[in-house]
């Protein structure tokens, strides 16, 4: 009798049901279909999320080399007059206010291997003129890579406080993101390079050539 009761109980136990929501012929949890989602380990090319991501990467952007070319490296200016060159000796501000003065000073900085200070200052001035948000962000990134990054061969000398502020603001840069850094470099050029420029052959030769130039009638 005992063996007959056990046999009856086995027959009454129902078969294990399929996974909830599984359609006939549909792969179970342990198998993967051909259209695996982006969370799958294989990251197959048929994933719809990858398609969206590729479309985002193909959005039209402004070429970095075009914007880098827009940043000034040399300024066109008429030849300075003797009066202008004499005024450069009165103050650093009078030197920096004219394109001819900036070009002459930059030529001197090149002899001291510190031309990047003037290039950075000029790039900041150019950035301030920009109003387009996308261009501001891209130009700010270029300036950061060229003059702020410690990996750049043209890195300018800034204190840690100014660097930290720039790093925080690079998340959403404005046209004034480098104002503190620009002022610091301006002050450095004023105190360090300007006095040597006034005693340099670059300045003295220019002053002499204009002094010896005959006055036009």
Confidence check: pLDDT of 72 > 90: no
Most distant CA atoms of the chain, gap in Å: 138
Of the candidate CATH numbers 2.60.40.420, 1.10.167.10, 3.30.420.110, 1.20.58.190, the domain formed by 81-212 belongs to 1.10.167.10
pLDDT reported for residue 78: 85
Give the C-alpha separation, 82 to 215, whole Å.
10
pLDDT digits (tens, 9 = 90+) for 92-132: 999 999 999 999 999 999 999 999 999 999 999 999 999 99
pTM, two decimal places? 0.67
Where do the structural domains in the chain lie, given as residue ranges?
81-212
DSSP 217: -
pLDDT digits (tens, 9 = 90+) for 167-183: 999 999 999 999 999 99
DSSP helix/strand/coil, 131: coil
Query: Residue 65's pLDDT band (boundaries 50, 70, 90)?
Result: low
Q: What length is written for the chain?
A: 217
């Amino acid at each position: 009798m005992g063996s007959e009761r056990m046999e009856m109980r086995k027959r009454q136990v129902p078969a294990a049901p399929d996974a909830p929501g599984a359609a006939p012929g549909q792969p179970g949890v342990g198998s993967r279909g051909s259209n695996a989602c982006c969370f799958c380990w294989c990251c197959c090319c048929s994933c719809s999320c990858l398609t969206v991501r590729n479309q985002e990467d193909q959005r039209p952007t402004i070429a970095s080399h075009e914007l880098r070319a827009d940043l000034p490296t040399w300024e066109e200016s008429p030849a300075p007059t003797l009066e202008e060159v004499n005024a450069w000796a009165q103050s650093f501000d009078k030197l920096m206010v004219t394109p001819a003065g900036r070009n002459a000073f930059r030529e001197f900085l090149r002899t001291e291997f510190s031309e990047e200070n003037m290039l950075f200052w000029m790039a900041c001035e150019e950035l301030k003129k920009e109003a387009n948000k996308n261009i501001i962000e891209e130009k700010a990134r270029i300036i950061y890579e060229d003059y702020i990054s410690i990996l750049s061969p043209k890195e300018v000398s800034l204190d840690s406080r100014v660097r930290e502020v720039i790093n925080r603001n690079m998340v959403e840069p404005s046209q004034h993101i480098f104002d503190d850094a620009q002022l610091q470099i301006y002050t450095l050029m004023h105190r360090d390079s300007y006095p040597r420029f006034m005693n340099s052959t670059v300045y003295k030769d220019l002053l002499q050539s204009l002094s010896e130039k005959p006055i036009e009638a």
